[in-house]
Amino acid sequence: MSWTLSRSLGIIAGSMTWRVQLAGDPSALRELAKVMQTPEATIHEEGSAFVLESTHFTSCTESGEVQAQAAKLAEWLSGTAALALGTRTPITAGAIEGPPAPNGGRSIYVTATVAVHVRGTAWATVTRNRPDGTVETIHPADAVRAWLSLAQRRPQVADVLRQWGTGARDWYTLYQLREKIEAAAGGDGQIAARGWASRAKLRRFDHTANSQAILGDAARHGVQRTTPPANPMTLGEAQQLIERLIRGWVEELRASGS
């Protein structure tokens, strides 16, 4: 099943600021809407649509400026959703609703046609009783708020989340992400010391990723210069490893308040 945003222009009644329609996995966007109610990023579900509002749009005077800000936020939301929910469909920014016009309506600026594919995935929300008798509700996407805040403060985090959010999980992309986490952490020794992955597993990943004999055209190198790995890592194992590295890194930053 898919839904397509058609190209059109018009005036509709609206709220008091720029608003941007988001496209992506509706199930994931629905989960994000449950937790993203911050000034930096508020997501509303309105009928079959998901709408983003943000203080990043406040100073914008043209739809092009809003589009640039919304595209950046969508990249970060894609990465955080991929990390928290395991989604592979990128979130993208679509139609832009302008500020209110004198007649009470607002202009709609459409920059592209966006197709949305429904996965139908559902994530469980957990409730538990606190000692004081109140009830705590835990959403699968709760960590997204903190990770998005990190992305806004730290360019390295923004870059990693952007790349993870594209949905690409090939060896070349995974190796780039592995190098970024290694550099941010201060080397493989620090990765191992933090318990994100053992040195042996990191070496096995590197050996496989570089092996033309094992991966063919998917390898980072076009020529086999060393002995192929005796126990090559599968692509699924590699994907899980890189996800673990990213999660370990951003969670450490979140816990430290960096």
DSSP output for 26-81:
HHHHHHHHHH-EETTEEEEEETTEEEEE-GGGTT--SHHHHHHHHHHHHHHHHHHH
Among the listed ranges 13-17, 80-84, 178-182, 215-219, which one has the minimum average pLDDT value?
Answer: 13-17
Please list, in sequence order, all residues whose beta carbon lies within 8 angstroms of the beta carbon of residue 77, skipping any fewer than 6 positions away.
Answer: 22, 32, 36, 41, 91, 144, 148, 165
Confidence of residue 9 (pLDDT cuts 50, 70, 90): very low
Is residue 137 one of the residues assigned to a domain? no
| Residue where a domain stops, chosen among 117, 151, 181 | 117
Residue 178: pLDDT over 80: yes
In this prediction, residues 185-191 reach a mean pLDDT of 98
pLDDT tens sequence across 155-166: 999 999 999 999
Is residue 26 one of the residues assigned to a domain? yes
Is residue 157 one of the residues assigned to a domain? no
Among the listed ranges 48-52, 136-140, 248-252, which one has the minimum average pLDDT value?
Answer: 136-140
Is residue 33 one of the residues assigned to a domain? yes
Is residue 151 one of the residues assigned to a domain? no
What pLDDT, on a 0 to 100 scale, did the predictor assign at position 12? 33
Same domain as 172, residue 96: no
Same domain as 200, residue 105: no
Same domain as 106, residue 6: yes
Closest by Cα among 243, 238, 196 to 81:
243
Closest by Cα among 133, 149, 192, 130 to 41:
149
- E strand spans, the chain: 2-4, 11-13, 19-23, 37-38, 41-46, 49-53, 92-100, 105-109, 115-117, 126-129, 135-138
d(CA 66, CA 54): 10
Is residue 209 one of the residues assigned to a domain? yes
Same domain as 113, residue 173: no
Same domain as 251, residue 189: yes
What pLDDT, on a 0 to 100 scale, did the predictor assign at position 17? 84
Same domain as 172, residue 112: no
| Residue where a domain stops, chosen among 85, 117, 149 | 117
What pLDDT, on a 0 to 100 scale, did the predictor assign at position 128? 64
Same domain as 173, residue 68: no
Helix (H, G, I), strand (E, B) or coil at 256: helix
pTM given for the model: 0.83
What pLDDT, on a 0 to 100 scale, did the predictor assign at position 113? 45
d(CA 53, CA 33): 11
Sheet strands side by side (includes 92-100): 11-13, 105-109, 92-100, 19-23, 49-53, 41-46, 37-38
What pLDDT, on a 0 to 100 scale, did the predictor assign at position 68? 96
pLDDT tens sequence across 34-84: 999 999 999 999 998 999 999 999 999 899 999 999 999 999 999 999 999
- Where is pLDDT greater, at 32 or 1? 32
Same domain as 112, residue 9: yes
CB 144 within 8 A of CB 58: no
What pLDDT, on a 0 to 100 scale, did the predictor assign at position 109? 78
Closest by Cα among 252, 73, 244 to 149:
73
Is residue 8 one of the residues assigned to a domain? yes
Same domain as 113, residue 9: yes
What pLDDT, on a 0 to 100 scale, did the predictor assign at position 243? 98
Same domain as 98, residue 184: no
Same domain as 109, residue 179: no
Is residue 238 one of the residues assigned to a domain? yes
What pLDDT, on a 0 to 100 scale, did the predictor assign at position 107? 78
Residue 137: pLDDT over 80: no
pLDDT tens sequence across 209-237: 999 999 999 999 999 989 999 999 999 99
Same domain as 74, residue 10: yes
pLDDT tens sequence across 77-135: 999 999 999 999 999 999 999 887 777 667 787 655 444 444 556 555 656 666 776 75
What pLDDT, on a 0 to 100 scale, did the predictor assign at position 258? 72
Number of domains, the chain: 2
d(CA 126, CA 137): 6
| Residue where a domain stops, chosen among 91, 117, 143 | 117
Domain limits for position 177:
168-256
